[in-house]
Amino acid sequence: MGPHEKPKPQDCLLLLKRLFFRRNVFAVATVLLTLLLPLTNVAGATALGTVEKSWSETFVAVGANSVALRGILRLANTQVNGSFTVHSCCGYSTNDISFSILNVDFSAFKDYGVVVDSLVFSWNTGTSEEYEMHFDNKWGQVCTGNVCYPDPSHPSSHNKTIELNVREVAPSTFSSLLTKSNIIIGVAAVVGAGLAVSAIVILRETRKRKQ
């Protein structure tokens, strides 16, 4: 159609179809994404139920310092069951550490005090989504101004190696299914569906023009 020609009825109809299709693509994409996210729970195998994560970590609690570790699931009502062992370094055999666990929002806290050798513990986050474990190795520290260091005369003032094992179980919710992998799969499926529908519409329009 030239710049001074009047638009033909079929051209107007074609333009309206394209606008309608583009609007519909966004609507269909939104619906498909909403439906596909809970169905693409690759890790869980079921749409809703429970989410479970088991993990372990070995780390060193330096003398006159503490170590804080957070959970992985970060879901409300997470049941935490764990255990750890303490190993002293440098020929010492005290194998002791102070241990406590709490919700990050400070809604609950439990202090296990001094743990010698090993401990089996449990925790439930309740309405909080995050919890934190504290391993305190500040035994007999000597402080000069703002600087603290281990007291060499204190039998427990040395590095400790902690071997930690944790199992977390929480109820699965729709928000817990919004993982990075699920979102990528959902978006890819929506884009693929949109391209397929677009190709079909283009082919139909091409055939109609030829006729």
Distance of CA 92 to the CA centre of its chain: 38
Full domain range(s) for residue 26? 10-44+176-210
Examine the domain organization and report whether 81 and 159 are in the same domain: yes
Quickly count: other Cβ atoms within 10 Å of residue 73's Cβ. Answer: 20
Q: Is the residue at 4 inside a domain?
A: no
Q: Which of 98, 34, 42, 36 is nearest to 68 (CA)?
A: 98
Do the beta carbons of residue 83 and residue 120 sit within 8 Å?
yes
Examine the domain organization and report whether 165 and 181 are in the same domain: no
Examine the domain organization and report whether 121 and 167 are in the same domain: yes
Quickly count: other Cβ atoms within 10 Å of residue 168's Cβ. Answer: 22
CATH of residue 85: 2.60.120.680
Domain count, the chain: 2
What does pLDDT average to over the chain? 79
Examine the domain organization and report whether 33 and 128 are in the same domain: no
Examine the domain organization and report whether 89 and 163 are in the same domain: yes
Examine the domain organization and report whether 198 and 154 are in the same domain: no
Q: Is the residue at 25 inside a domain?
A: yes
Q: Is the residue at 1 inside a domain?
A: no
Quickly count: other Cβ atoms within 10 Å of residue 149's Cβ. Answer: 14
- Residue 203: the pLDDT is 73
Q: For 123-176, write each residue's pLDDT tens digit.
A: 999 999 999 999 999 887 888 888 888 888 888 989 999 999 999 999 986 655
Question: Does the pLDDT of residue 52 top 90, yes or no?
Answer: yes
Q: For 60-73, write each residue's pLDDT tens digit.
A: 999 889 999 999 99
Question: Does the pLDDT of residue 186 top 70, yes or no?
Answer: no
Q: Is the residue at 3 inside a domain?
A: no
Q: Can you tell me the mean pLDDT for 42-49?
A: 50
pTM listed for this prediction: 0.62
CA torsion angle for 114, 118, 122, 123 (degrees, to 10)?
40
| Phi, psi (rounded to 5 degrees) for 94 | -70, -35
Q: Is the residue at 2 inside a domain?
A: no
